[in-house]
Amino acid sequence: MSSSNRILTILGSTGSIGIQTLQVLESSTEKYELGFITANSKIDKLEEQALKLNPYGVAISDEKYYHEFKNKTKFKGKILCGEEGVLEAAAFEKNDLVVSALVGFSGVQPTLSAINSSTTVALANKETLVSAGSLIMNAAKEKKVPIIAVDSEHSAVLQCLIGESLDSVEKIILTASGGPFWTTPEEEFESLSVEQALEHPNWAMGNKITIDSATMINKGFEVIEAHWLFGLPINQIEVLIHPQSIIHSLVQFVDGSVKAQLGMPDMRIPIAYSLSYPKRLNYSFPRLDLSDIGILTFEMPDYFRFPCLKLAYDAIDKGGSATAVLNAANEIAVHAFLSNKISLPEIAHLIGNALDKINNIGQPTLNEIVETDKETRLFVTNLINENYK
Ligand code: MG
Dist. CA 197 → ligand 1 center (Å): 17
**2 C-alpha to ligand 1 centroid (Å):** 35
- As a whole number, mean pLDDT of residues 124-136 equals 94
Report CA(290)–ligand 1 centroid distance (Å): 21
Query: From ligand 1's centre to the CA of 352, what distance in Å?
Result: 23
Calculate how far, in angstroms, residue 382's C-alpha sits from the geometric centre of ligand 1: 31
pLDDT at 34 over 80: yes
Percentage of the residues of the chain whose pLDDT score is greater than 90: 94
Q: Cα dist. 296→245, 246, 256, 262, 270 in Å?
A: 9, 8, 21, 11, 21
Predicted local confidence at residue 201, as pLDDT: 79
- Distance from the alpha carbon of residue 115 to the mean position of ligand 1, in angstroms: 23
Quick: pLDDT tens for 247-266. Answer: 999 999 999 999 999 999 99
Sheet with strand 169-176: strands edge to edge: 237-241, 169-176, 247-253, 258-262
Q: What local confidence, expressed as pLDDT, does residue 317 receive?
A: 92
- Rounded distance between C-alpha atoms, residue 208 and residue 276, angstroms: 27
Residues forming CATH 3.40.50.720 domain(s) in the chain: 6-149
CB-CB neighbours of 242 under 10 Å = 22
Express each pLDDT in 53-102 by its tens digit: 999 999 999 999 999 999 999 999 999 999 999 999 999 999 999 999 99
Contacts of 72 (CB under 8 A, 6+ apart): none
Instruction: Tell me the C-alpha distance between 154 and 148, whole Å.
Output: 9
* Fold adopted by 181-215+304-389: Rna Polymerase Sigma Factor; Chain: A (1.10.1740)
The count of other CB atoms within 10 Å of the CB of residue 341 is 15
CA–CA gap between residue 353 and residue 125 (Å, rounded): 25
Q: Are 99 and 128 in contact (CB under 8 A)?
A: no
Percent of the chain clearing pLDDT 70 (strictly above): 99
Ligand 1 geometric centre to CA of 93 (Å): 30
Neighbours of ion ligand 1 (CB under 5 A): 151, 153
- 304-357 per-position pLDDT tens digit: 999 999 999 999 999 999 999 999 999 999 999 999 999 999 999 999 999 999
pTM for the whole thing? 0.94
How far, in Å, is the centroid of ligand 1 from the Cα of 386? Answer: 34
Within the chain, all domains assigned CATH 1.10.1740.10 are found at: 181-215+304-389
Contact by Cβ (8 Å): 100, 124 = yes
Q: Please give the CATH superfamily to which domain 6-149 belongs.
A: NAD(P)-binding Rossmann-like Domain (3.40.50.720)
CA of 203 relative to ligand 1 center, distance in Å: 9
Give the DSSP H/E element, type plus range, for residue 385. helix 366-387
